[in-house]
Amino acid sequence: MKMKHLLLTFAVGATVMASPLLKEAKDNGLVAIPADKAALNKLTENPKNKMTPAKVELGKKLYFDPRLSKSGLISCNTCHNLSEGGDDGVGAAIGHNWTANPHHLNSPSVYNAVFAEKQFWDGRSPDLEDQAKGPMLAAPEMAASTEHIEAVVKSMPEYVAAFKNAYGKDVKIDFNAIAETIGLFERTLVTPSRFDDFLNGDEKALTKAEKEGLKTFIATGCTSCHTGIAIGGGMQGFAITGDFKHAKVGDFKGDANGLVKTPTLRNVTQTAPYFHNGTVWSLKEAIQEMGRIQLGVKISDKDAASIETFLKALDGRKPEIVLPILPASTEATPKPDVN
């Protein structure tokens, strides 16, 4: 028994000694998406609105329904396309009447947005439920009104029945309930990656080149902003050590304190163009520009390539999204208005 205990102690010690990079990553604030479903649910839950399959399925239908927009053409998925990186792949978001965002703001990814500290580039929303309200009402986006959105949902018996099934027969179907239900669905859009497998203890999950890239990522100072489970998502100063070369594109200046939300690096290979104004299409260029204006360092081509190799390991396993069959419109459903 004593020998067995010694062997077990040695094995545990050897495991710890074999993981210096894993320890370094965690010491620098990098956090894994939990492999345990219960632990993940605890992180993604809304304490004010219990997540259930019925609510999530209803939220998915609302997320994909373009009739919530004034034109009847734009859904949440238009700018946050779940078939790719959770964004729209253009520099400035395009909305109602083919209108580009007036501040030339780029659509952030909705994947893993639940892990961000705040929502929107200026951090003005505290959570996904609150964030969901903005685009639906914004004139350059979905351009709808609360009255229009409520009328659309209430006009379809299938939606009314779905709300009662999800929330109870006395549910109040209003704009807040609709936005909150969309937000609940968005909370499920989590993409664990091989990097999470590595942080969760599987040292073979990353290749030798990806591990070298992680070392370079940490040594360069990228974890001064890109940390936590979102590998981003907090509010930071922007262009601290240099002027952003595309700063004049758009008029966005951050929040009242000049802070800008740090984008998640999860699935970053799928979310070009980069930066708040969507002006950089090359990931290598984005890495080097960040070094220059955020860290005050010149990142060599070799180091940029190494970091990019690591970032590819953040491409996650997306949840299976089955395109929902939406309720049929009725005579009471508001007609599309493209003007």
* Residue pLDDT, tens place only, 80-94: 999 999 999 999 999
pLDDT at position 19, please? 85
Check whether residue 163 and residue 100 sit in a common domain.
yes
pLDDT at position 223, please? 98
Check whether residue 162 and residue 205 sit in a common domain.
no
Q: Is residue 321 part of a domain?
A: no
- Domain end, chosen from 139, 162, 186, is at 186
Quickly count: other Cβ atoms within 10 Å of residue 327's Cβ.
20
Q: What is the DSSP letter of 293?
A: I
- What is the helix (H) or strand (E) element at residue 97, kind and residue range? none
- Domain end, chosen from 186, 214, 236, is at 186
Check whether residue 292 and residue 229 sit in a common domain.
yes
Q: Is residue 305 part of a domain?
A: yes
Cβ neighbors of 285 (< 8 A, separation 6 or more) are: none
Check whether residue 240 and residue 136 sit in a common domain.
no
- pLDDT tens digits along 101-159: 999 999 999 999 999 999 999 999 999 999 999 999 999 999 999 999 999 999 999 99
pLDDT at position 1, please? 42
Domain at 182, CATH number: 1.10.760.10
Q: What is the DSSP letter of 34?
A: P
Check whether residue 179 and residue 200 sit in a common domain.
no
Structurally, the chain folds into a number of domains equal to 2
Check whether residue 52 and residue 147 sit in a common domain.
yes
Separation CA 11–CA 42 (nearest Å): 32
- Domain end, chosen from 186, 210, 226, is at 186
| pTM of this structure | 0.93
pLDDT at position 53, please? 97
Cβ neighbors of 240 (< 8 A, separation 6 or more) are: 293, 294, 296
Question: Which residues are known catalytic residues?
Answer: 141
Nearest alpha-carbon partner for 117 in 274, 305, 268, 264:
264
Check whether residue 258 and residue 120 sit in a common domain.
no
Residue for token pair 């909370």: 187
Check whether residue 83 and residue 167 sit in a common domain.
yes
Check whether residue 201 and residue 163 sit in a common domain.
no
Check whether residue 145 and residue 251 sit in a common domain.
no
Taking 50 as the pLDDT cut, the residues of the chain under it are 1-16, 18
Q: Is residue 124 part of a domain?
A: yes
Q: Is residue 15 part of a domain?
A: no
- What is the helix (H) or strand (E) element at residue 161, kind and residue range? helix 157-167
Q: Is residue 319 part of a domain?
A: no
Check whether residue 83 and residue 153 sit in a common domain.
yes
Q: Is residue 214 part of a domain?
A: yes
Range of the domain at 296: 20-35+192-312
Separation CA 185–CA 58 (nearest Å): 8
Nearest alpha-carbon partner for 28 in 222, 255, 303, 235:
222
Using N-to-C axis directions, what is the helix angle for 301-312 and 208-220, rounded to 10°?
120
pLDDT at position 337, please? 97
Q: Is residue 69 part of a domain?
A: yes
Check whether residue 258 and residue 163 sit in a common domain.
no
Q: Is residue 323 part of a domain?
A: no
Tokens of 279: 């002006």
Would you say how long the chain is, in residues?
339
Nearest alpha-carbon partner for 209 in 315, 309, 314:
309
CB 74 within 8 A of CB 142: yes
